[in-house]
Amino acid sequence: MIEIKNLHKSYEIGASSLHVLKGIDFSVEDGDLVAIMGSSGSGKSTLLNILGMLDTSDTGTYDLDKIRIADMDEKKAANYRNKFLGFVFQSFNLINYKNALENVALPLYYQGVSRKERQKTALNFLDKVGLKDWADHLPSELSGGQKQRVAIARALASNPKVLLADEPTGALDSKTSLEVMALIQKINNEGKTILVVTHEHDIAKMCKRIVHLKDGVIVEDKKIKQNVIKNV
């Protein structure tokens, strides 16, 4: 599904340059659930942003579902993001004046799906994350866990190939974190490829594979026995 070869990325900071990614080789199989771990400054967020086409690499190749992601203008990148990728953020990033249903329907709007279809699909996904009854609530009326579930529903709504989650449980307490990870496992079990960036070991252990980043290189990449969450 994802194929990355010799990826480099550096940021110009004034006169000096900061080499963040120093040659990443990395691939993800269809239906995998990968945790990307590393301390702050290890380059894990940069990698995720490049995977999410929110940022570009300096050198190296990136193929997403056999499509070469390179030399894209903003417009093309936006279309690819919309079609191929779903994002889940630490700070939820819901639009605060739109209710849960409208938030979930937004990526469909940018896909050009008709209004009726949008509403129907969005409601389906809200149902899937267990928030059908909260459809007309604003984000400010939802708890942190509910917000993240709405965000996950939104990320799924456009039926992306890959779900990218950046510290999805970073702003949640441990019980709610479990709920959200249980949902992520459920979606993964249905076949969706998911990448989770986290620095919490117990969260990482709920995935199927852990990739360790340190100082811009992958230091460890191993399959693990998934800690499956039951009875939340």
Partner 1 sequence: MNSLKKIFDRDTWDEIFESISKNRTRTIITSIGVFWGIFIYIALAGSATGLENGFDDAFSGLSKNSMGVWVQRTSIPYKGFEEGRYPVFKLNDVDYLKNRVPEIQYIAPGLQAGAFSGSPPLVVRGLKSDNFNVFGNFPVYAKISVINIFDGGRYINDDDIKYERKVAVIGEGTQERLFNVGEDPIGKYIRINDVNFMVVGVTKFTEGSGFGSDSDITIPYTTFAKIYNRGDQFGFMFISGYEYVNPNYLEETVLSTLKVMKTVSPEDDRAFGTFNIGSLFESIIKFTRGMVFLSLVVGIATIFAGVIGIGNIMLIAVKERTNELGIRRALGATPGEVKVQIVLESVFLTIVAGIIGITVGAFLLFVINIGTSGLEDFPFTNPTVPLTIVFGAFITMITLGTLIGLIPAERAVSIKPIEALREE
List b or e across 1-17, with b for residues whose CB sees 16 or more CB atoms inside 10 angstroms: bbebeebebbeeeeeee
Q: C-alpha dihedral over 37, 169, 64, 153, to 10 degrees?
A: 170
Q: Which is nearer to partner 1, 10 or 79 (CB)?
A: 79
Q: Which stretch binds partner 1 (CB under 8 A): 1-9, 74-82, 197-205, 207-215?
A: 74-82
Q: How far is the CB of 188 from partner 1 (least distance, A)?
A: 21
Whole-angstrom Cα distance, residue 166 to residue 185? 15
Q: How far is the CB of 90 from partner 1 (least distance, A)?
A: 10
Contact status: 75 vs partner 1 (CB under 8 A): yes
Contact status: 161 vs partner 1 (CB under 8 A): no
Contact status: 82 vs partner 1 (CB under 8 A): yes
196 within 8 A of 227, measured Cβ to Cβ: no
Q: Which stretch binds partner 1 (CB under 8 A): 18-26, 31-39, 48-56, 122-130?
A: 48-56
Q: How far is the CB of 231 from partner 1 (least distance, A)?
A: 33
Per DSSP, the three-state class of 39 is coil
Q: Which is nearer to partner 1, 106 or 123 (CB)?
A: 106
Give percent helix, percent strand, percent coil of the chain, each to the nearest 5. 35, 30, 35
**How many beta carbons lie within 10 A of that of residue 140, not counting itself?**
9
Contact status: 137 vs partner 1 (CB under 8 A): no
Provide the pairing of β-strand 85-88 with 209-214.
unpaired
Binders of partner 1 among 83-122, rule CB under 8 A? 83, 87, 89, 91, 93-98, 102, 106-107, 109-111, 115
Whole-angstrom Cα distance, residue 162 to residue 70? 18
Contact status: 49 vs partner 1 (CB under 8 A): yes
What is the contact surface with partner 1 in residues (CB under 8 A)?
49, 52, 54-55, 74-75, 78-79, 81-83, 87, 89, 91, 93-98, 102, 106-107, 109-111, 115, 154, 158
